[in-house]
Structure 1
Amino acid sequence: MKLRRSQSTQLKNRLSGTLRSWLPILQSSLEELEELLQKYESENPYMQVQSGFEEQFSAKFTHKVLYQSDNSSTTEAIEAKTIQNLSLYEKLNEQINAPLFPTPKSIDIAYAIIEEISDEGYFTGDINEIAKKVKAEPYQVESIRQRFSYLDPPGVGSVNATEAMLFQLRQSGVEEPIYSLVSDMLQDLQNLSKFKNSSNYEEALKVIRSFKNPPALDNMEDSPPVIPDLIIVEKSNGIEVQMNDLFYPDIIIEDCSLDHEFVKKKIKEARDLIDALQMRKATLYKIGLMIVEFQYDFFQGGDIKPMKLKDIAQEFDHNPSTISRAIANKYLACERGIFPMKTFFTTGIDEEVSNAVIKKFIADAIASEDKNKPLSDQKLLDMIEAKFGVKMVRRTITKYRKQMKIGGSSERKRFYQLA
């Protein structure tokens, strides 16, 4: 009996240690996982984290190198790449000097404005707040912001797309009478048709089409390539779920024969991490199986169906919050592309139609709409109700469209006219 109790206690302690490690490991994305394990490694001299992540990644994704060793043969190449790829903010900071910004006050204001410029190059701050911050008048701040129209990239510091194009016009080198016509057209984009009789209309339109929108488009960083945790493979006998083991780190426990409490403790912690890593894999694998079961039609070319976190939580006997952690920042790859795992958990319009399906229908309909007569939200609603046999309200269509960052019909029509 004593031996059995001792074994039970050891197993309970082992499981509690594993579970403590499991949740942080489960919640980490595949890219973050190695970094997390390396923190454990730094505190444990008897474990080593080994990963073929960089090697495998550079082999599979040759278009983007994530890691470069720092040695003498590559230093110049790295420096050259760094110089060529200054961030938007580094580029702007380098330009804050005379003659555009000749005084310390103008420089202070310019730097404060840069802090309020988005990655897209738009000014998103408040002139009055900046004025208070730098102890200046609002008109002085606005005057300095207008000088940004002469900085690179052209259009940076503008408050919206129209002003961005007006800023770009100032640097375009376009001469009169085209310059004035372009300026008038930009300030009245809603009524472009009234300019069609101008002899320089087509040339002015060509100038407008040359402007970049958003202004910092060329300086925006590429999104890092996504590495999926799960791979869905279609085979002749069905669909198979595979773990993307290729990019998983391995934990190596150092061989040590020292009979010391500290050593025993650290080796136990390393073993708990190995168990937690296996639990992560097992949990995601089971979730993958459930996704395939619930969303089988999607992997055969159909639509995503309504599916809730609690559907899987009940099957796992877990809390929905645990499932939410498990799918956060995780991706699934299949023949149709790479998808965030949360994509497959959607609320339902009814039992057969999910909001993801409705959004896709809206996006597809707008992509193929008549450019001279864009679809209104009411028309989209009528089409959805006819196709799917569901009842909805127009404001829901408007909400979905805005969530997908798609403009209204009148806004789209103006841009179609420009294009």
Structure 2
Amino acid sequence: MALSPRLEFRQSQSLTLTPQLMQSIRLLQLSHLELNAFVDTELLRNPLLEREEGPSEDSADSEPVEKPVEMSAYEDTVAQGERIQDADQIAEGYDTAVENVFPDAIPQDIGQTSGPDRGGSFEGGETSDLDQYVAAKPRLSDHLEAQANMVLRTTADRLIAQHLIDGLNEAGYLSVELDSIAELLGAEIEDVEAVLQVLQTCEPMGLFARSVAECLTLQLIERDRFDPVMQKLIENLHLLADHNMSALLKTIGCDKEDLIDMLAELKQLDPKPGLAFDIAPVESIVPDVFVRPGPDGGWQIELNSEILPRVLVNRVYYATVTKKTRDTAEKTFLIDCLQTANWLTKSLDQRAQTITKVATEIVRQQDGFLTHGVSHLKPMTLKMVAEAIEMHESTVSRVTAQKYMATPRGLYEMKYFFTTAIASSEGGADHSAEAVRHRIKNLIDAEDAKAILSDDTIAEILRKEQGIELARRTVAKYREGMNIPSSVIRRRQKKNLAD
């Protein structure tokens, strides 16, 4: 076959992503805060766009789901905790460990102050404005820089201190190596260590520590309570995290009463002193969709119109300016502005309709959850919803990102309802992974102190009694994800409580 240039005609179809189409896709995955910020930018840039004032008359409501249901009593959902990865992170859970092992060891008045309680009220019963306290929270870096300028005399020491302050994480721990700071500044490692020792005396005590043990040690030294026995307790915090009280008593060489007193002192310490300062603004979660019981026994799905930006295209202004202008560039600019304004209003309306359509399908498929609770949560994937509403999976994924749904059972992110399926050993319908977690938690909560359930036993109970086919390692993964300790630690906890 000879190689020679020639002309050929071929017909093919392809999808071209125009800038406006790409922007429309991007609008789907924006949260309501990001969407309002984007619209505000467009309002400043486009003279033909105006924000609609007042309530919207044509809110994006959808018809109730046809399947009639009856409302039952609300159930609490499973709280997802954070897993403690190792003993060095005992700050996450040593308070709970103390209370579980010796519930009567900690005096009730420890940590009580005259400040506001958890509900935001003072002793006099007067409710405070929480927003004022959040806004008045000082920044950790500013707080420490002011102290460093008073306790450090030379410019070199203050420069080292600034790098050490920048190396603190949100909990107040030093996350950078001293060697790297010394190398960066061309200073001696002894000088960096000397500055660190001075900064560790700053208020609140416990800052600039490199481990939980060092953080607690600094606070105990400041209280003049770091005696040899307390030092042994700090060195063996991993035994406290494992709830191995017998080994802890043997290691530190004290009796049970002394250990109770020392644990009470640890209870008064702050393992994360940096969290008392402002780090990032607190953002409240606002639902994008409301799900309410309908008058006919079904469900009503309604968009939260309060957070949706409403814009109008000022065509009167466009017509007036177009008649008066003679400049070609100005006319081109006005035409572009009109096209952009029309695209934005159309995209916002399409976004609202898509969110409503996806939310309606989620409610239809998760009707059992809304009626009976998390134990009836069905396995659901993006593909199942996409096929039902005749959309692409990527569109459903974008719509459910950073969107929240307010239901009679609480506020949930839309992605919460998408769970993997676990096969049934009896050949019936599949089970949702979230519902299985709920069953595992119920089994552990109801276990007898003299018959602690192992992961193998839980898997066997799920298979025989509830028809859920689950491997032991999967049970362990779900249990750890709910911050539930192993059977060995649970046995120690309940034994100590019984003693």
Distance change in 2, residues 1:147/1:355 (3 Å) = farther
Quote how far apart the aligned CAs of 1:375 are: 6.7
The one-letter code of the counterpart of 2:430 is: E
Tell me if 1:193 matches 2:252: no
Spell out, residue by residue over 1:318-356, the C-alpha distance to the aligned partner (whole angstroms, 9 max, x if none): 332222111111111112111111111112222532222
Q: Please give the alpha-carbon distance, in whole angstroms, between the structure 2 residues aligned to 1:247 and 1:310.
A: 28
Work out which of the residue numbers 278, 281, 297 in structure 1 matches 2:349: 278
Alignment map for 1:125-274 (pairs within 5 Å): 125-136=176-187, 141=192, 144-171=195-222, 173-175=223-225, 179-189=227-237, 190=239, 191-194=247-250, 197=255, 200-219=258-277, 223-236=282-295, 237-254=297-314, 255-256=316-317, 257-258=319-320, 259=322, 260-274=331-345
Alpha-carbon distance in structure 2 between the residues aligned to 1:217 and 1:29? 27
1:94 aligns with 2:165: no
Deviation at 1:138, TM superposition (A): 5.4
Amino acid at match of 1:218: A
Give how far 1:199 is off: 5.6
- For residues 348 and 378 of structure 1, what CA distance do their matches in structure 2 show? 20
Deviation at 1:174, TM superposition (A): 4.3
Pick closer, same or farther for the CA change 1:270–1:323 going to 2, 3 Å.
Answer: same
SS in 1 for 2:138: coil
Unaligned runs of 5+ in 2: 1-16, 56-127, 240-246, 323-330, 424-428
Match among 401, 410, 413 for residue 340 of structure 1: 413
Q: State the aligned residue count.
A: 378
**Local SS of the residue matching 2:379:** coil
Given candidates 383, 396, 416, the residue that maps to 2:474 is 396
The 5 Å alignment of 1:20-169 reads 20-49=22-51, 84-99=136-151, 101-136=152-187, 141=192, 144-169=195-220
Deviations 1:140-192 (A, max 9, x none): 55554454442333322333333322222233x244xx744433322223143
Query: Distance between the aligned counterparts of 1:106 and 1:114, measured in 2?
Result: 12
Q: CA deviation at 1:32?
A: 1.4
**Higher percent of residues as helix:** 1
1:51–1:347 Cα change, 3 Å: farther
Larger radius of gyration: 2
Map 1:282-301 onto structure 2 (within 5 A).
Answer: 282-301=353-372
Moved more, 256-265 or 394-403: 394-403
Give the 3 Å change call, closer, same or farther, for CA 118–332 of structure 1 in structure 2.
same
- Relative distance call for 1:97 and 1:321 in structure 2 (3 A) is same
For the 8 Å contact 2:230–2:262, the answer to whether it is kept is: yes
Which moves more between the two structures, 315-324 or 102-111? 102-111
TM-aligned CA deviation for residue 224 of structure 1: 1.6
Hey, what does 2:433 align to over in structure 1? 355
Asked if structure 1 preserves the Cα contact closer than 8 Å seen for 2:148 and 2:199, the reply is: no
State the TM-score, normalized to the length of structure 2.
0.65
Q: 1:329–1:216: structure 2 CA closer, same or farther, 3 Å change rule? A: same
SS of equivalent to 2:148: coil
2:412 alignment partner, SS class: strand
**Which shifted more, 230-239 or 375-384?**
375-384
- Alpha-carbon contact 1:155-1:165 (below 8 Å) kept: yes
Q: Distance in 2 between matches of 1:132 and 1:374?
A: 54
Counterparts of 2:166 and 2:493, CA distance in 1: 30
Instruction: Give the alignment's Cα RMSD to 1 decimal.
Output: 3.8
Structure-1-length-normalised TM-score: 0.75
After superposition, residues 396-415 of structure 1 pair within 5 angstroms as 396-404=474-482
Contact kept? 2:205, 2:219, Cα under 8 Å: yes
Q: Call closer, same or farther: CA 1:140–1:293 in 2, change over 3 Å.
A: farther
Alpha-carbon separation, structure 1, partners of 2:351 and 2:52: 17
Among 311, 315, 321, which residue is 2:384 paired with? Answer: 311
* 1:34-86 CA-partner distances (Å, limit 9, x unpaired): 10111212220111235789xxxxxxxx9665xxxxxxxxxxxx8x985x311
